[in-house]
Amino acid sequence: MRSRWWAGLCVLTASAALAQYPYTRAFQLQDGNTRPDARLVIVDPQGMIWVGGEAGLFRTDGDHTRASAVQGSVTALATADRGVLAAFADGLLVRAGGLMVDTLRSDTAWRKAPIRSLCMDVAGSIWIGTYGDGLWRMDADAAKAVVRVEGLFDDHVNALCPLPAGGVAAATDLGIVLFDAKGRVLRHVREEEGATDNLVLALTLGDDGHLWAGTDRRGVFHFDPNDAAVAVQALDSVWSFGAVSGVHVRDGLSWVATRGHGVRVYDLRERSGCYMPGSEVQGLGARVLALSAGKDGAAWWCDGSARLFRSDANVLFVPQHEGVDLRHVSALCSGPDGRIHFAVGPRIYGHAAAFADAEHLSQRELDLPAEVPIVSLHADSTGDLWAGTMGRGVFRIRPDGTVQHFTEKDGLANNNVLRIRSRGDAVWMATLGGVAAWSAADGFVRPELPGNGFLYDLLPLPDGGTLVASDGGGLVLLPEGGGPGKAVGDTADARPTSYYSLALDEQGNAWACGPGTGLCVYSVNGLQCTGADHAVLLSDVQGIAAYRGRILAFAERGLLALEPGTGRMTDLGRMFGLEGVSGELNALCTDLRGGLWVATNEGLVRITPTTETLHSTTPVVLVGWSYGKEPLSLRTDPHLGSDQNFLTFHFASTSTPAPDLVRFQYRLVGFDGGILSTREREITYSRLPPGAYEFQIRAGVGDTTPDSAWTSFAFTIDAPWWRRPWAVFLGVVLLSAAFFGFIRMREERLRLRDRMEKERVRFQLEAVRSQVNPHFLFNSFNTLIALIEEDTPKAVRQVEDLSTFFRNILQVRDKDLIPLADELRLLETYFGLEQRRFGERIRLVVDADPDAHVFSVVPLTLQLLVENALKHNSATTAQPLIVRVSAHGPTLEVRNTLRPRLAEETSTAYGLDSIRQRYRALTDRPVEVFQEAGDFVVRIPLITAQP
């Protein structure tokens, strides 16, 4: 109802001076070499800004822009529950959020016209408006199937908007149709029902619960979607700004984007049309194609170029008002009635703090020459307005309009009055000749002060004292009830200190600031200063003020906000476009509505920072993360394979007035504890080892330390299978098995070697024993004796042979193996000895392949076997014992006719057994002993000689 009667007022005020504009900044969109054109813009629930145009769909936070889907031109864009919906000219319909892009439909057969509008209703169903083929719906649980919604009186849908109670409103060329969640028609809103124009191009749900419609020709109208009884109302009945391309209503402001007249902002709270054609004033585009409101109360809009604009209604520039140039305001104050007073030349103007156009400036001209400026203004609690001048004393303007003029003649300390403040009935003035205190009862009083009396500011304290800021004499405290003032602060510091500005904070502490002092607080603990080396405070500080728990200092180099609790300082000036603007002394004041006023050379600036901007922290959004280029979900259980260790994190700072000033700090807990800084929006980690990690990001504005808490995202890179517990266990088991196996083998080998050693010793013993066998010696000596008598040379040879034989035995005794050829020579020597005894009764036939000589045998094997043959078989001249030794391939064979002796010589039985044992240690092949066709055969495996 409220809006109804102010709508009527608009008729009167539409032509009022249109001189306020919200601070608007342009941001260049660029992704690599692509400069996407922005024809559509939407701010999603996270605060990310999505831009659609011919180049495709892009997301940005104002400073960094990245392509999301570039499959051609975007024809429609809408917010979804965690991102946006976008339709492309070639028929693709996607849902995008963070880094993820899900295709909803890629076919076009189901509709005959292009998609012009999209929306997601409260139940999650997606409504699709086409231009020429009506309205379609894709239910949340319908597996991407679309059904046509009947009931439209026109198939040309321009805009869609979800209704709070479910369902949507569809704006067509011929009016608006409201549907419930099931697609049944609830209501029509056309010219017959009060709409200003049937051709509705933009539709939005305001935070007042109304549906707001922007039309082609007749501006904006709005209505209650739940109550048909409430009349449809026009925002402005006199509309001359052409087609509306976007509307947004939030926090009492109605933003209207027009195709030819920029962005216009209507202040609904002030019960009057308050025009703020900021884009035109600042020389930015008059053509606006789309507008979307950010979470911080600012609006983002686009004009079809590669620039994106942010207009911040919390920062209002008023360069002129009703023909008054507000770029030369010399003094500024706010009154107890909520009005703002400011002085331009000899005139003092007054206006309601909200600067609504319904009210005109009040004006009072003082009798002053043009060159005498008003440098101080004060509105006291009785409604009197005080104006101090340079050289002409002070004026008191009564509410009834009468003016009193006080000068030095009236007892005023000095005619140069730089600051006026009051406490109770007393008005206090800082002059270039000391303090002047005035009250209606006593007139002027001049308290005693040390120093030269050049004063810039004074501040009556709640406890009764008065603090005075002097030139060169520091701060002086005038005690309650009179008496001489005394210096405050460190008097040991001999340097003369000047203070220009004083302010009282909400806790009753007094703050002071002068050249090079920083911001100083005077409390029961004395004077404490901070930030003396801050760039803003090193420049000329024009004024300080306490504002919502902060101490603000407006200086040539910016607007600094100090948070006393933490000592943190933020340069709001850079965020609100106040860099490069300058002001006058006494250029800062706060109004009773929470606005901060700054008089600058760009005009009056009213800043109403949102609580977020002033108090809280730089917002950080973790947009998503990806493995290489493949986006990963932020929601699913973040367990990655061991090879998925090339990870990129994407983040942004949304809903901040100056995304280009944001600096991030990040760290990866679990990888390294170090904190790194960046102003990029993505960080890549390569070759992360398996483990549990937590990526953390926070941000701050400018070079200050980050002010936001860590935003964290925990994830795990799984170990590869061979490092999982079961694999490790298995590995340990296998390793121990192998170890034990090795130990066993080694033991076996040692045991074998031990046995071989024993065998060898025994074999040697056996061989030697057989050679020193008394029988052998007896036979040999008998032969020798016979030969000595019969054939001396032969006997000598026999002894020589015997000697050779024993020497050979001594030589080979210690060896494990000797070449077959050596063994055969040994055998011949031996057989020669035996032959001398047996003569023709024995015969040796050796038949060895030439290549058999590469093999080796255990020494004395053949000798032992032949000796055995001679020992166990009878040999006669008629039937000589023929021993055949043959070597074919890897086998040595000793064969003799089996003709056992009748008188068996006792055997140690060691012979063959010993040979078997030795060979078993050396080779797998057996020593074969068998009888075959009356022959006794022993087959010895030949051994490949070891090099």
Partner 1 sequence: MERISAHLSSAKGAVDPVARTFAVQIPMADFEGFNSPLQREHFRENYLETERYPYAVFKGRIIESVDLSAPGNYDVRAKGPLIVHGVERERIIECRVVVAPEGVRVTANFEVLLEDHAVRVPRVVQQKIAPDVSIEVDMLFERVGTAP
State the Cα–Cα distance between residues 388 and 422, nearest whole angstrom: 13
Rounded CA separation 536/557 (Å): 5
Nearest approach, Cβ of residue 89 and partner 1 (Å): 9
Q: What does the alpha-carbon distance between residue 382 and residue 403 come to, in Å, rounded to a whole number? A: 15
Site string for partner 1, 813-852 (x = CB under 8 A): ----------------------------------------
261 vs 663, which CB is nearer to partner 1?
261
Going residue by residue from 75 to 114, which x/- string records binding to partner 1, judged by CB under 8 A?
A: ----------------------------------------
Rounded distance between C-alpha atoms, residue 702 and residue 659, angstroms: 10
Q: Which is nearer to partner 1, 221 or 395 (CB)?
A: 221
What is the dihedral sign for C-alpha 868, 871, 874, 878? positive
Site for partner 1 contains 698 (CB under 8 A): no
User: With respect to partner 1, which residue has the nearer C-beta, 287 or 667?
Assistant: 287
Binding mask 207-226 for partner 1 (x = CB under 8 A): ---------xx---------
Tokens of 241: 């700004």
Q: Does 174 bind partner 1 (CB under 8 A)?
A: yes
Q: Is 292 in the site for partner 1 (CB under 8 A)?
A: no
Which of 39, 646, 85 shows the shortest CA–CA distance to 305?
39
Looking at the Cβ atoms of 77 and 315, the one nearer to partner 1 is 77
**Residues in region 444-503 near partner 1 by CB under 8 A:** none
Determine the 3-state secondary structure of 946 from DSSP.
Answer: coil
Distance, in Å, from the CA atom of 697 to the CA atom of 625, rounded to the nearest integer, reads 13
In this chain, which of 243, 529, 581, 632 binds partner 1, going by CB under 8 A?
243
Closest CA to 539 of 515, 570, 563: 515
- Measured in whole angstroms, how far is the alpha carbon of residue 349 from the centre of its chain? 51
Q: What residues numbered 337-396 form the site for partner 1, per CB under 8 A?
A: none
Nearest CB to partner 1, comparing residues 114 and 391: 114
Q: Which residue has tokens 């822009």?
A: 65
d(CA 118, CA 136): 10
Q: How far is the CB of 34 from partner 1 (least distance, A)?
A: 16
Beta carbon of residue 17, minimum distance to partner 1 (angstroms, whole number): 28
Q: How far is the CB of 173 from partner 1 (least distance, A)?
A: 5
Measure the CA–CA gap between 175 and 188, rounded to whole angstroms: 7
Residue (173 or 224) nearer to partner 1, CB: 173
Min dist. Cβ of residue 164 to partner 1 (A): 29
Largest CA distance in the chain: 178
What phi and psi values does residue 594 have, to the nearest 5 degrees?
95, 5
Q: What is the dihedral of CA 735, 739, 745, 749, to 10 degrees?
A: 140
Q: Using the rule CB under 8 A, is 280 a contact of partner 1?
A: no
Q: Does 304 bind partner 1 (CB under 8 A)?
A: yes
* Per-residue x/- track, 148-167, partner 1 (CB under 8 A): --------x-----------
Q: Judged by CB, which is closer to partner 1: 172, or 233?
A: 172
Q: Kindly state the smallest distance separating residue 135's Cβ from partner 1, in Å.
A: 17
Which of residues 208 and 216 has its CB atom nearest to partner 1 in the complex? 216
Tally Cβ neighbours within 10 Å of residue 721.
10
Distance of closest approach, residue 176 Cβ to partner 1, in angstroms:
14
CA torsion 284→286→290→292, rounded to 10°? 50
Q: Running DSSP on this structure, what letter comes out for residue 286?
A: S
Please tell me whether residue 847 adopts helix, strand or coil conformation: strand
In the complex, what is the shortest distance from the CB of residue 246 to partner 1, in angstroms, rounded to a whole number?
15
String of DSSP letters for 563-583: ETTTTEEEEHHHHTT-TT--E
Give the CA-trace dihedral at 25, 31, 34, 35, to 10 degrees.
-10
- How many C-beta atoms surround the C-beta of residue 681 within 10 A? 21
Q: Please, which residue, 31 or 303, has the CB nearer to partner 1?
A: 303
For the bound state, the minimum distance from the C-beta of residue 398 to partner 1, rounded and expressed in Å, comes to 57
Structure tokens at 855: 């093999």
Q: How far apart are CA 486 and CA 477, in angstroms?
A: 5
Helix, strand, coil shares of the chain as percentages rounded to 5? 20, 40, 40
CB of 225 to partner 1, least distance (A): 24
Smallest gap from Cβ 216 to partner 1, in A, equals 5
Least distance from C-beta 199 to partner 1, angstroms?
5
> CB 595 → partner 1: shortest distance, Å?
39
24, 130, 198, 829: which one contacts partner 1 (CB under 8 A)? Answer: 198
- Asked if 511 is part of the footprint of partner 1 (rule: CB under 8 A), the reply reads no
CB of 193 to partner 1, least distance (A): 16
- Give the nearer residue to partner 1 in terms of CB position, either 146 or 201: 201
Decide if residue 193 touches partner 1 (CB under 8 A): no
Of 279, 305, 466, 861, the one binding partner 1 (CB under 8 A) is 305
Q: Which of 18, 173, 408, 841 binds partner 1 (CB under 8 A)?
A: 173
- Tell me whether residue 287 or residue 698 sits nearer to partner 1 (CB atom): 287
**């009564």: which residue's tokens?**
398
Backbone angles phi and psi of 861, in degrees to 5: -60, -50
Output 304 or 702, the one with its CB closest to partner 1.
304
What is the Cα–Cα distance from 789 to 795, expressed in whole angstroms?
Answer: 8
Cβ neighbour number for residue 2 with a 10 Å cutoff: 10
Number of residues that bind partner 1 (CB under 8 A): 12
Residues 121-150 that bind partner 1 (CB under 8 A): 131
With b for 16 or more beta-carbon neighbours within 10 A and e for fewer, the 889-921 pattern comes to eeebbbbbbeeeeeeeeeeeebbeebbbbbbbb
Hey, which residues does 221 pair with through a beta bridge?
213, 234
Say if residues 145 and 137 touch (Cβ distance below 8 Å): no
Q: Can you tell me whether residue 677 is helix, strand or coil?
A: strand
Residue that is written with structure tokens 């809903």 in the block: 655
Q: Which is nearer to partner 1, 291 or 476 (CB)?
A: 291
Binding site for partner 1 (CB under 8 A): 131, 156, 173-174, 198-199, 216-217, 243, 287, 304-305
